[in-house]
Amino acid sequence: MKYTLFILVSFLILFSSCVVSKQKYDELQLESDTKIKNLNNQIDKLVGDFNLMRNELSTNNSKKDMLIDEVNQKIYGLSSSQEEIKDELETVKDKYKWTSRESNQKDKTILELNKKINRLQKSLEENKSNFENTLSTHNQNTNSLKEKIRLLEKQNKLYTSQIKRLREKINKSVNKRSEIIDTLKNKSDIIK
């Protein structure tokens, strides 16, 4: 009888500790899923902002190309075998080459940012996988994941500031292009 009572009490103690561990496991799993979802939402927002900026740049480039084509047509139409007009045409070509080089540099910067975003997404996926594999040691991993999340937030802030700087560079480039186009229009009007 004492032996049966001992077994029954042992079973109850063992069963109650499993329930507590399962509850802690579920709480940690829910908390980690929420954090990972928040980080994924932040990445999606950054990707959306990046795509919007890339679309704006493409639109501005096509407008620039149309304006440059229009200016080139006017220049060719006005070329009446005068040396002055030929010199002006060479100047316009040089400015176009300079603008194209600047545009190519910005395209490279956009590609680099895209690669950084892809690396950040891969890093987040790896962090999620590592967390799921080591959840049984939740006390040690909780501190580690908090540190990783803090670093990722710093990276997110860094990428956000880089995107902001890139937008400023693009705006400056668009302003320079507008000035070039205005200069070309003014010269075209003078030639007429």
DSSP string over 14-43: HHHHHHHHHHHHHHHHHHHHHHHHHHHHHH
Whole-number Å distance between alpha carbons of 147 and 145: 5
Angle formed at CA 66 by CA 61 and CA 67, multiple of 5 degrees = 95
**Using one digit for the tens of pLDDT, what is the confidence trace for 122-153?**
887 887 777 666 555 666 657 777 888 888 88
Q: Residue 165 has which token pair?
A: 């700087």
How many Å apart are CA 190 and CA 168, to the nearest integer? 33
0.85 exceeded by pTM: no
CA distances from residue 64 to 71, 168, 180 in whole angstroms, order as listed: 10, 18, 10
pLDDT digits (tens, 9 = 90+) for 15-46: 555 555 778 888 888 888 898 899 889 988 98
